[in-house]
Amino acid sequence: MHRPVLLVIAHGSRDPRHAETVHALVRRVRALRPGVRVETGFLDFNSPTVSGVLERLAAEGVRDVVALPLLLTRAFHAKSDIPAVLRDAPPGLRIRQAAVLGPSPLLLTALEQRLYEAGLDPADKSSTGVVLASAGSSDPEAIAVIADIAREWRHTGWCAVRPAFASAPLPRTQDAVRALRAVAGVRRVAVAPYVLAPGFLPDRIARGAADADVLAGVLGPAPEVAQLLVRRYEEAYAPGNCPVAPLARIPALA
């Protein structure tokens, strides 16, 4: 069976660590699926651009593409920016837009692994309060998803889990750290950045974690994140998920 090209769509950043991290993640995806052609495109700041990659693929005679948003929540970029870029793709390309990465149990596993790598002892889980620190969004749906993830994660054995946001809504990371200090049974506080790559907002999260006991690294090229990209790709071209029509090109797949 012919496999569509996987186009990973990242936001992009002026911070060079962002693109480096995205490329490291994509290399891991290629290693998991050596029979799949994997390309990377950026919405802003970095090259190649999404439109540039699509034009190149069309010129090469590629017909089928799965466009996978490298996003943790279905907010503005997934609902508006990416569909707009894909609608302008060259004629002849059949494009499926895959679902965003989150929420997923694989992401919770990756978050925990990052905390342990930062020095947290798994034996202390029941006495540790965790700040789930997201970049934030003006989209109420995305904010609600982060709150739901925090509640779900709390039930896996942590003493307490509080969401926090680096932009838009409150609370900020430092506010959530202070709130957890007051929770009965919390002996230490850890901050888990729910972000994929370094940049301006992850740096803000790190500054807000100054009074925490543990600060985890970003998710980056975690094995679980790479596995999740492969899963979203395979879901997008599974039987029954047909390419979208040229004049109504990009509905998001749930």
Give the per-residue pLDDT at 243: 54
Give the per-residue pLDDT at 242: 54
SS3 38: strand
Q: How far is residue 55's CA from residue 90's CA, in Å, rounded to a whole number? A: 6
The angle subtended at Cα 15 by Cα 10 and Cα 17, nearest 5°, is 75
SS3 137: coil
Q: How far is residue 55's CA from residue 60's CA, in Å, rounded to a whole number? A: 9
For tokens 């060079």, name the residue.
16
Give the per-residue pLDDT at 82: 95
Retrieve residue 74's tokens: 């279905």
Q: How far is residue 73's CA from residue 136's CA, in Å, rounded to a whole number? A: 10
Distance of CA 205 to the CA centre of its chain: 16
Q: Give which of 186, 107, 202 is closest to 148, Cα–Cα.
A: 107
Give the per-residue pLDDT at 238: 84
Give the per-residue pLDDT at 169: 83
Q: How far is residue 152's CA from residue 97's CA, in Å, rounded to a whole number? A: 27
Give the per-residue pLDDT at 2: 80
Retrieve residue 96's tokens: 């499926």
Give the per-residue pLDDT at 126: 97
Give the per-residue pLDDT at 161: 98
pLDDT digits (tens, 9 = 90+) for 75-119: 877 888 999 999 999 999 999 999 999 999 999 999 999 999 999
Give the per-residue pLDDT at 250: 32
pLDDT by 10-residue block (mean), the chain, 254 residues: 92 97 98 98 97 98 97 87 95 96 98 98 97 93 95 97 93 98 97 97 98 98 98 89 42 31
Give the per-residue pLDDT at 75: 82
